[in-house]
Amino acid sequence: MTDDPKSLALAMVVLKFVADKINPAVRELRAKAGAALDARDRVTALGPGGEVLGTITKSAPKPVAEVTDVEAFTAWMDAHWPDRVEHGATIVPSMMDTAIAALRTYAPHVLRHHQAVLPWALAEVLRTSEAAKQPVGPGGELDVPGVTVTTATGTVSTRIDAEALPVLAELLASGKVRLDGTLRPELPGVRHDPGTGQGTA
Protein backbone atom coordinates (compact mmCIF):
# COMPACT_ATOMS: atom_id res chain seq x y z
CA MET A 1 0.00 0.00 0.00
CA THR A 2 1.31 3.42 -0.90
CA ASP A 3 1.01 6.44 1.31
CA ASP A 4 -0.76 8.66 -1.21
CA PRO A 5 -4.01 10.17 0.10
CA LYS A 6 -6.28 8.26 -2.30
CA SER A 7 -4.83 4.86 -1.33
CA LEU A 8 -5.03 5.74 2.34
CA ALA A 9 -8.62 6.96 1.95
CA LEU A 10 -9.65 3.74 0.20
CA ALA A 11 -8.00 1.56 2.84
CA MET A 12 -9.53 3.52 5.71
CA VAL A 13 -13.03 3.44 4.23
CA VAL A 14 -12.82 -0.31 3.58
CA LEU A 15 -11.47 -1.03 7.07
CA LYS A 16 -14.11 1.19 8.67
CA PHE A 17 -16.80 -0.71 6.76
CA VAL A 18 -15.39 -4.02 8.03
CA ALA A 19 -15.00 -2.68 11.59
CA ASP A 20 -18.57 -1.34 11.61
CA LYS A 21 -19.74 -4.83 10.71
CA ILE A 22 -17.43 -6.76 13.02
CA ASN A 23 -17.28 -4.68 16.21
CA PRO A 24 -21.01 -4.99 17.06
CA ALA A 25 -20.80 -8.74 16.37
CA VAL A 26 -17.80 -9.07 18.69
CA ARG A 27 -19.64 -7.21 21.47
CA GLU A 28 -22.71 -9.40 21.00
CA LEU A 29 -20.66 -12.61 21.03
CA ARG A 30 -18.71 -11.49 24.12
CA ALA A 31 -22.02 -10.82 25.92
CA LYS A 32 -23.38 -14.24 24.90
CA ALA A 33 -20.18 -15.96 26.01
CA GLY A 34 -20.26 -14.05 29.30
CA ALA A 35 -23.77 -15.35 29.95
CA ALA A 36 -22.97 -18.92 28.86
CA LEU A 37 -19.66 -19.35 30.69
CA ASP A 38 -19.07 -19.66 34.42
CA ALA A 39 -16.22 -17.85 36.14
CA ARG A 40 -12.83 -19.43 35.36
CA ASP A 41 -14.26 -21.40 32.40
CA ARG A 42 -11.88 -21.99 29.52
CA VAL A 43 -13.16 -23.18 26.13
CA THR A 44 -11.00 -24.20 23.17
CA ALA A 45 -11.99 -23.11 19.67
CA LEU A 46 -11.52 -25.85 17.07
CA GLY A 47 -11.45 -25.55 13.29
CA PRO A 48 -13.48 -27.77 10.95
CA GLY A 49 -10.60 -30.26 10.89
CA GLY A 50 -10.17 -30.28 14.66
CA GLU A 51 -7.31 -27.78 14.63
CA VAL A 52 -6.84 -25.78 17.84
CA LEU A 53 -7.44 -22.16 16.84
CA GLY A 54 -7.45 -20.50 20.25
CA THR A 55 -9.35 -20.22 23.50
CA ILE A 56 -11.84 -18.03 25.29
CA THR A 57 -11.80 -17.62 29.05
CA LYS A 58 -13.99 -15.91 31.61
CA SER A 59 -12.39 -14.13 34.54
CA ALA A 60 -13.52 -14.38 38.15
CA PRO A 61 -13.45 -10.88 39.69
CA LYS A 62 -13.22 -10.66 43.46
CA PRO A 63 -15.82 -8.77 45.55
CA VAL A 64 -14.96 -5.12 46.19
CA ALA A 65 -16.22 -3.26 49.28
CA GLU A 66 -16.43 0.52 49.42
CA VAL A 67 -18.01 3.20 51.57
CA THR A 68 -20.83 4.67 49.53
CA ASP A 69 -22.34 6.79 52.32
CA VAL A 70 -19.59 8.23 54.52
CA GLU A 71 -21.94 9.97 56.97
CA ALA A 72 -24.12 6.90 57.54
CA PHE A 73 -21.15 4.60 58.01
CA THR A 74 -19.30 7.02 60.31
CA ALA A 75 -22.41 7.55 62.46
CA TRP A 76 -22.93 3.79 62.75
CA MET A 77 -19.29 3.21 63.69
CA ASP A 78 -19.46 6.03 66.24
CA ALA A 79 -22.56 4.49 67.83
CA HIS A 80 -21.22 0.94 67.89
CA TRP A 81 -17.42 1.29 67.90
CA PRO A 82 -16.59 4.80 69.17
CA ASP A 83 -12.97 3.88 69.87
CA ARG A 84 -12.51 3.43 66.12
CA VAL A 85 -13.79 6.90 65.25
CA GLU A 86 -11.66 10.00 65.35
CA HIS A 87 -13.32 13.11 66.80
CA GLY A 88 -11.97 16.61 66.54
CA ALA A 89 -12.20 20.11 65.15
CA THR A 90 -9.83 22.08 62.94
CA ILE A 91 -8.91 25.74 63.50
CA VAL A 92 -5.22 26.79 63.40
CA PRO A 93 -2.67 23.97 63.36
CA SER A 94 -0.13 25.71 65.60
CA MET A 95 -2.74 26.60 68.24
CA MET A 96 -5.06 23.65 67.77
CA ASP A 97 -5.20 22.31 71.32
CA THR A 98 -5.33 25.70 73.02
CA ALA A 99 -7.95 27.10 70.65
CA ILE A 100 -10.26 24.12 70.84
CA ALA A 101 -10.05 23.96 74.63
CA ALA A 102 -10.87 27.66 74.91
CA LEU A 103 -13.69 27.51 72.40
CA ARG A 104 -15.25 24.51 74.05
CA THR A 105 -15.33 26.43 77.30
CA TYR A 106 -16.25 29.92 76.15
CA ALA A 107 -17.74 29.64 72.66
CA PRO A 108 -18.79 26.07 71.84
CA HIS A 109 -21.27 27.41 69.26
CA VAL A 110 -18.45 28.31 66.85
CA LEU A 111 -17.09 24.78 66.72
CA ARG A 112 -18.14 22.29 64.11
CA HIS A 113 -17.90 18.72 65.28
CA HIS A 114 -15.73 16.47 63.16
CA GLN A 115 -15.59 12.70 63.20
CA ALA A 116 -14.00 10.14 60.92
CA VAL A 117 -13.48 6.40 61.11
CA LEU A 118 -9.84 5.63 61.79
CA PRO A 119 -8.07 4.44 58.62
CA TRP A 120 -7.06 1.07 60.06
CA ALA A 121 -10.64 0.46 61.25
CA LEU A 122 -12.03 1.37 57.82
CA ALA A 123 -9.56 -0.98 56.11
CA GLU A 124 -10.58 -3.77 58.50
CA VAL A 125 -14.29 -3.34 57.74
CA LEU A 126 -13.70 -3.27 53.97
CA ARG A 127 -11.43 -6.34 54.10
CA THR A 128 -13.92 -8.32 56.21
CA SER A 129 -16.83 -7.22 54.02
CA GLU A 130 -15.05 -8.33 50.85
CA ALA A 131 -14.34 -11.75 52.38
CA ALA A 132 -17.98 -12.14 53.43
CA LYS A 133 -19.34 -10.63 50.17
CA GLN A 134 -21.62 -8.38 52.25
CA PRO A 135 -21.17 -5.44 54.63
CA VAL A 136 -19.78 -6.66 57.96
CA GLY A 137 -18.92 -4.60 61.04
CA PRO A 138 -15.92 -5.11 63.35
CA GLY A 139 -17.93 -7.44 65.57
CA GLY A 140 -19.51 -9.41 62.75
CA GLU A 141 -22.60 -7.19 62.50
CA LEU A 142 -24.48 -7.51 59.21
CA ASP A 143 -26.52 -4.30 59.44
CA VAL A 144 -23.72 -1.88 58.57
CA PRO A 145 -25.06 1.15 56.69
CA GLY A 146 -23.07 3.07 54.11
CA VAL A 147 -20.94 0.12 52.96
CA THR A 148 -21.56 -1.61 49.64
CA VAL A 149 -20.00 -4.81 48.34
CA THR A 150 -20.12 -5.44 44.60
CA THR A 151 -18.67 -8.15 42.39
CA ALA A 152 -18.02 -7.18 38.80
CA THR A 153 -19.25 -9.40 36.00
CA GLY A 154 -16.50 -11.63 34.69
CA THR A 155 -15.02 -10.53 31.40
CA VAL A 156 -14.47 -12.85 28.46
CA SER A 157 -11.08 -12.73 26.76
CA THR A 158 -9.94 -14.34 23.53
CA ARG A 159 -6.51 -15.74 22.69
CA ILE A 160 -5.50 -16.89 19.21
CA ASP A 161 -3.07 -19.79 19.06
CA ALA A 162 0.11 -18.59 17.34
CA GLU A 163 0.27 -21.72 15.18
CA ALA A 164 -3.34 -21.25 14.06
CA LEU A 165 -2.79 -17.99 12.16
CA PRO A 166 -2.23 -19.70 8.77
CA VAL A 167 -5.20 -22.00 9.40
CA LEU A 168 -7.47 -19.05 10.20
CA ALA A 169 -6.26 -17.17 7.13
CA GLU A 170 -6.97 -20.21 4.94
CA LEU A 171 -10.42 -20.73 6.47
CA LEU A 172 -11.37 -17.13 5.67
CA ALA A 173 -9.77 -17.09 2.22
CA SER A 174 -11.40 -20.38 1.23
CA GLY A 175 -14.80 -19.21 2.39
CA LYS A 176 -15.20 -22.11 4.82
CA VAL A 177 -15.70 -19.62 7.62
CA ARG A 178 -17.69 -16.43 7.23
CA LEU A 179 -16.32 -13.10 8.43
CA ASP A 180 -18.63 -13.33 11.47
CA GLY A 181 -16.95 -16.58 12.53
CA THR A 182 -19.72 -19.00 11.54
CA LEU A 183 -19.03 -22.04 9.37
CA ARG A 184 -20.32 -21.88 5.81
CA PRO A 185 -22.02 -25.15 4.78
CA GLU A 186 -20.35 -26.82 1.83
CA LEU A 187 -22.31 -26.64 -1.44
CA PRO A 188 -23.39 -30.07 -2.76
CA GLY A 189 -20.84 -31.44 -5.25
CA VAL A 190 -18.39 -28.61 -4.59
CA ARG A 191 -15.20 -28.75 -2.59
CA HIS A 192 -12.70 -25.98 -1.84
CA ASP A 193 -9.16 -26.22 -3.11
CA PRO A 194 -6.99 -25.13 -0.13
CA GLY A 195 -4.30 -23.95 -2.51
CA THR A 196 -6.46 -21.53 -4.50
CA GLY A 197 -9.48 -21.12 -2.29
CA GLN A 198 -11.65 -21.70 -5.34
CA GLY A 199 -14.48 -24.15 -5.57
CA THR A 200 -14.00 -27.14 -7.87
CA ALA A 201 -16.44 -29.76 -9.04
**CA–CA gap between residue 48 and residue 56 (Å, rounded):** 17
If we measure between CA atoms, which residue out of 146, 153, 115 comes closest to residue 129?
A: 146
Q: Are strands 191-192 and 156-160 parallel, antiparallel or unpaired?
A: unpaired
Using one digit for the tens of pLDDT, what is the confidence trace for 47-59?
A: 888 889 999 999 9
If we measure between CA atoms, which residue out of 199, 192, 200 comes closest to residue 171?
A: 192
**CA–CA gap between residue 130 and residue 126 (Å, rounded):** 6
Whether pLDDT at 194 is above 70: no
**CA–CA gap between residue 117 and residue 77 (Å, rounded):** 7
Task: Kindly report the pTM of this predicted structure.
Answer: 0.56
pLDDT of residue 150: 95
If we measure between CA atoms, which residue out of 134, 144, 137 comes closest to residue 121?
A: 137
The residue-averaged pLDDT of 191-201 equals: 42
Strands of the chain, DSSP E: 42-46, 52-58, 64-67, 85-88, 114-117, 147-150, 156-160, 191-192, 199-200
**CA–CA gap between residue 64 and residue 55 (Å, rounded):** 28
What is the percent of the chain where pLDDT is above 70? 87
What is the percent of the chain where pLDDT is above 90? 44
